[in-house]
Structure 1
Amino acid sequence: MNQQEIAEKLGISRTTVVRLLTEGRELGIIQIYIHGQDDGMRQEELEAELMKRYGMRDIIVARNVEPNSTYNVAARYIQGIMPRKGTIAISGGKTMNAVANYFHPIEGENELNITQLTGMFGENIPSVTVAQNWAEKLNANAVYLAAPGIVSSPEKRDLFLNDANIINTYKEICNAEYAITGIGITNSVKENLKNLEFPPYLFEELDQRCVGDIMFHFYDKNGRFNAEKVSSCVVGATTADYLRIPVRIAVAFGEEKVKAIHAAMKGKIINIMITDEDTARCILQL
């Protein structure tokens, strides 16, 4: 519609329409972008089937037309919906770092903050590096959480979170409007926990009761966080902090992650899922 048609439909003046559109662009609510080479890279039929089953805010399914299609589609989708102001909280890991490599650089002023959801963990790409990569590509401010991602006790976790250098980062996490993460599977993630002083029975419980994790917060087949003893040792967002973030996006794919993705969608741990067409078909077969 043109501005006059909008005014007539809403019963307001054309001047008001102009003002609202201008404010919307300044706030990042209204964005204009050009569809380029990503046209045709999404599997819309699978998206519709998954939306019908899971009733989420959005589901994006990348066609496997090239090895890194999912990263490409994820980057374009995220850039299309993200604000120019506020806070996006992200996890670390290879997937998150790969997505950043497909962002189109943004020029001009940008009042966006990129903060880590947790501290650093594992031997993969550090979450500090991922946050820095996202911030550079999106012309945003990086907010770091200089601490380990998980420690051996809740008391040690509290010591880190009460540190003066971390308090402001934690506040930024709590104010985030968007959370963007990968999804882990129990068998591989628990290997990173073996350096900590957790009792052996805890690992048995994870095997028996959990199918996946987001930032070391493990959940069951129904998408309910159910490993509080581990979660209470995570330095960063708690499960409650995470679930309070309005837009929770996950990027994950692969046959080994099908059950974990299905559970996260079923339990509404996430409300936007980005995956590939092979994974989507496996999920629909469950």
Structure 2
Amino acid sequence: MARVSATRVSPDRLPLITKVARLYHERGVRQPEIARRLSISQSRVSRLLKEAVELGIVRTVVVQPPTVHSDLEDEVRDLYGLADVVIADSASDDEASILASISGATAAYFETTLTGHDRVGISSWSSTLLAAVDKMVPKNVSTASVIVQVLGGLGAPTIQVKATHLVERLSAVTGAVPVFFSAPGVVASEVVRDAILADTSSREAVDEWSRLTVLVAGIGSIAPSPMLKDSGNAVPSGELAKLSEAGAVGDICLQFFDATGRLVETDFGTRTVGISADEMRRIPRRVGVAGGERKWEAIRASLAGRWIDVLITDVATARWLVANPIAETAGDGGPARKPDPITA
């Protein structure tokens, strides 16, 4: 709003404008009461308050609380061309604290941004996502239409049950219809994978993948966390070694990418049972949830490759992303030069 110079306003009116502004903004007196006290109309009170802003007598200042990082969110968003960034403030830099803070921020994000028409795809078991949905509070109205599992499970059946719980819980709190994908995440061959995806038992979920409006997924590093490894819900170490040799630094829904965000095409990818990279990229809103130093390079690569357009992370990760951008990115999976070795 363009300000009006106080010299263009009659000096006789300035005391009244200031008095009305102070009553309203400093003492919290409502406009009808101000009108009564000063024996003027309420419409005039409203005009005087607007004039106080135009003259610069009243100035709006947003005081950012210490645990809110709006400026840093804007910086990461603009640097990587994202639609939105949410930064959680954690008590410390250990993985447990980061998980707790990010899961809380994720719960709040979905409680405030999901509409009743959203069709949400969610990856298989993730400790952060599981903690997030457990923190969400059910509402009286539906905030999503369907919740769809987009990836088969890994590890023992007792561990894969957690993926089912994740879909069930998110469906319950959003009032959505759950669509499960009961299949292994990795199989022996491409032929087996194609057979599973074509089977009638899988078609409901597979057909939904092209209709998703939102995807929420964790961002994995090439080296799983000790907790994930111990759970049996991780890619076998032999497979990870081959992916690492091919240049992979991280993944989303078992779609592995290199340090510039380019898809790493290996035999492993042809045996992964879940949403494809192309299907994933066509989803309008793709939310990546991850943090912690172990995942810094993977998160940066996911942003460089445009795998996600919304990032929910922690403060230290956000600061590192700002300090260590990649000059050239893979865009939507095309060729890209690898960055210089990371020194931070």
Q: Give the aligned partner of residue 275 of structure 1.
A: 313
Task: Return the match for 2:247 from 209, 224, 241.
Answer: 209
- Displacement of 1:275: 0.2
Which amino acid in 2 is paired with 1:180? V
Match of 1:105 in 2: 138
In structure 2, relative to structure 1, the CA distance for the partners of 1:169 and 1:254 (3 Å cut) is: same
What is the TM-score with the length of structure 1 in the denominator? 0.78
Q: Does 1:231 align with 2:269?
A: yes
How far is the alpha carbon of 1:266 from its aligned partner? Answer: 1.3
SS at match of 1:209: coil
Q: Which amino acid aligns with 1:257?
A: K
1:135: which partner in 2? 171
Q: 1:201 to 1:146 in 2, by over 3 A?
A: closer
C-alpha displacement of 1:184: 0.6
In the alignment, the residues of structure 1 paired with residue 210 and residue 193 of structure 2 have an alpha-carbon distance, to the nearest angstrom, of 17
Report the residue type matching 2:149 in the other structure: Q
Which consecutive unaligned segments of at least 5 residues does structure 2 have? 1-64, 325-344
Please report how far the alpha carbon of residue 259 of structure 1 lies from its aligned counterpart in structure 2 after TM superposition.
Answer: 0.4
What's the CA shift string for 1:17-58, capped at 9, x where partnerless? Answer: xxxxxxxxxxxxxxxxxxxxxx87531121121122111111
Question: Structure 1, residues 102-142: CA drift from partner, whole Å, max 9, x if none?
Answer: 21212245661000011111355632221111111222111
CA contact (8 A) 2:144 2:174 kept: no
Structure 1: which amino acid aligns with 2:290? A
List runs of 5+ in structure 1 lacking aligned partners.
1-38
Quote the offset at 1:284 in angstroms. 2.2
Contact 2:123 2:150 in 1 (8 A): yes
Preserved CA contact (<8 Å) 1:161 1:167: yes
Shift of residue 227, structure 1, vs aligned partner:
2.7
Separation (CA, whole Å) in 2 of partners of 1:280 and 1:232: 33
Please list, as runs of the form range in 1=range in 2, the aligned pairs for 1:166-205 lying within 5 A after superposition.
Answer: 166-188=202-224, 192-194=234-236, 203-205=241-243
User: Are the structure 2 counterparts of residues 52 and 115 from structure 1 closer, same or farther at C-alpha, using a change threshold of 3 Å?
Assistant: same
1:121 matched to 2:154: yes
Percent of residue pairs identical: 27
C-alpha displacement of 1:283:
2.0
Partner residue in 2 for 1:16: none
2:258 and 2:264 in contact (8 A); partners too: yes
- Please name the residue that 1:81 is paired with: 113
Name the CA distance, whole Å, in 2 between partners of 1:218 and 1:110.
Answer: 31
Cα separation, 2, equivalents of 1:273 and 1:82: 16
d(CA) in 1 for partners of 2:141 and 2:131? 24
Larger Rg: 2
Q: 1:46 aligns with which of 72, 80, 96?
A: 72
Alignment of 1:56-75 (within 5 A): 56-65=82-91, 67=97, 68-75=100-107
- The question of 1:90 aligning with 2:110 is answered no
C-alpha distance in structure 1 between counterparts of 2:143 and 2:253, whole Å: 27
SS of equivalent residue, structure 1 residue 213:
strand
| Alignment root-mean-square deviation, CA | 2.3
Name the amino acid aligned to 1:118: L
User: Structure 1's 186 and 164: CA in aligned 2 closer, same or farther, altered over 3 A?
Assistant: same
Q: Which residue of structure 1 lines up, in the alignment, with residue 57 of structure 2? A: none
Q: Which amino acid aligns with 1:173?
A: W
Give SS of 2:178's match.
Answer: strand
The answer to whether residue 187 in structure 2 is matched with residue 151 in structure 1 is yes
Distance 1:69 1:40 in 2: 15
The worse-fitting range, judged by mean Cα deviation, of 256-265 and 111-120 is 111-120
Q: Deviations over 1:171-203 (max 9, x none)?
A: 1112101000001111228973438xxxx6883
Structure-1 residue corresponding to 2:301: 263
TM-score normalised by the chain length of structure 2: 0.66
Secondary structure of the 1:151 match is coil
The corresponding residue for 1:247 is 285
Q: Partners in 2 of 1:205 and 1:166 — Cα distance?
A: 27
SS at 2:224's partner residue? helix
- Post-superposition Cα deviations, 1:193-232, rounded to whole Å, max 9, x if no partner, equal 438xxxx688334245011011111000111111342222
Give me the whole-angstrom Cα distance separating, in 1, the residues matched to 2:144 and 2:297.
37
Residues 55, 117 of structure 1: alpha-carbon distance in 2 compared, 3 angstrom cutoff: same
Q: Output the CA distance in 2 between the equivalents of 1:258 and 1:279.
A: 6
CA distance in 1, matches of 2:67, 2:308: 23
Distance in 1 (alpha carbons) for counterparts of 2:105 and 2:197: 35
What is the letter of the counterpart of residue 76 of structure 1? A
Change over 3 Å in CA distance of 1:132–1:40 after alignment to 2: farther
In 2, are the aligned partners of 1:217 and 1:230 still within 8 Å (CA)? Answer: no
